[in-house]
Amino acid sequence: MSVSTAFAPAATDVVPAPLPVLGRDVTVPLVTGGEVGYAALDYAASAPALQRVWDDIAAYVPYYGSVHRGAGHLSQLSTELFENARRTVAEFLHCRDDDQVVFTRSTTDSLNLLARALPAGCEVYVFETEHHAALLPWRAADVTFLDAPRTPEAAVRTLERALAARDTVRPALVCVTGASNVTGELWPVRELAAAAHASGARIVLDAAQLVPHRPVSVRELGVDWIAFSGHKLYAPFGSGVLAGRADWLSAAEPYLAGGGASRTVARRQDGSVEVEWHEGAARHEAGSPNVIGAYAIASACRALTEAGPEALADREERLLGLLRAGLAEVPQVRVLSLFGDDAPRVGVLSFVVDGWNSSHLAAALSAEYGIGVRDGLFCAHPLVHALLGTGPAEQSGCGTGTLNALRVSFGAGTPDEDVTRFVTAVRELVTRGAKWTYRTENGRCVPES
């Protein structure tokens, strides 16, 4: 029996945007009394699961079994589903015929895996603007951190200058984001890939914030690898992807040593252990794989493809226009940007407000309006510090006392009214002040009980 006939999958009809997500009917209490529908505007941290993904997983779970090495029917079924998920992801990313798709736990895990697979002597080039998942894994290598560029063209020039000075005998890798998790701004990935290849370097794309919002093609962008997380792609089941060229991965010791990564294991006469490792993706997928996580990613890929990435992006642009126009009417608000107000971006926007501690504002939005956003430095400390500069001269309210920012982010499951509610709430808080009293607890602002 094939996967397609073993259980009934969720309906595959195109769902008009916004795509239905779990939690869309959740209500939360307000400190001022009563309840209100929750406005989830923190998609950049973790997007809610698509209803389609949840339905597909629920249909599969009764047929769950071990993957790859079981002789039983459900094991064979789960293995087929797992490998079909790999093919679905490869198609979604327009991978090359000889690319590998490795299932990991997250973007962080994917980039750490690649860092462990670097050839000896490899040089790494990474902008200081990266998320920590892309900024930190390379520290054991010969890494060059590049200053934050202020235009896309400057990004390309900065990389070209750095690569021109390198030792071309040594292998090199460039790591760059596709869309900033702080500003939402799109980076010139195709041009950066061309610059890397012109000098003989390779490039890995951190697409965690790009794949949920825009079509991504490994072939068209010309990147060597791409990494992203399921929980950003409406599939929050502890899964991720590293897809791209096989040679460095095949030559490296497994990222994790254990069952699944090993083909044969034998004791030598001297008492040591001799291991022959698998080739292909299995080499870096030791242990029992997260088949539900892989299937969830594949389900999300299918849902986004069927809904029409261009249509979803057009709608997101409209919501982003509403958001920016609304915030522009509040003079105390300063939107953070590397590339300028006209730079294209996905549905991610960060800002500061004169006179407000970001923790205080985020707490008031949640407690008094039922709106969930993110405040802080967003695991991109060097970038946020560069963007803030001196920042507003004064802050009021509770919190750490450190100048941070507030981030609002949305996607395919966000209703229009959540964005308009947010703009209205910011305007009311900035002009009238909070209705409740707040205090600092463990460095965060919380309502007084």
Catalytic residues: 379
Pairing of strands 142-146, 123-127: parallel
CA distance 102 to 24: 32
- Whether the CB-CB separation of 303 and 19 falls below 8 Å is answered with yes
Contacts of residue 4, defined as CB under 8 A and 6 or more positions apart, other chains included, come to none
CA distance 362 to 346: 21
SS3 of the chain: CCHHHHCCCCCCCCCCCCCCECCCCCEEECCCCCEEECEECECCCCCCCEHHHHHHHHHHHHHCCCCCCCCCHHHHHHHHHHHHHHHHHHHHCCCCCCCEEEEECCHHHHHHHHHHCCCCCCEEEEECCCCHHHHCCCCCCEEEEECCCCCHHHHHHHHHHHHHCCCCCCCEEEEEECECCCCCEECCHHHHHHHHHHCCCEEEEECCCCCCCCCCCHHHHCCCEEEEEHHHCCCCCCCEEEEECCHHHHHCCCCCCCCCCEEEEEECCCCCEEEEECCCHHHHCCCCCCHHHHHHHHHHHHHHHHHCHHHHHHHHHHHHHHHHHHHHCCCCEEECCCCCCCCCECCEEEEEECEECHHHHHHHHHHHHCEECEEECCCCHHHHHHHHCCCCCCEECCCCCCCCEEEEECCCCCCHHHHHHHHHHHHHHHHHCCCCCEEEECCEEEECC
Instruction: Read off the amino acid at residue 221.
Output: L
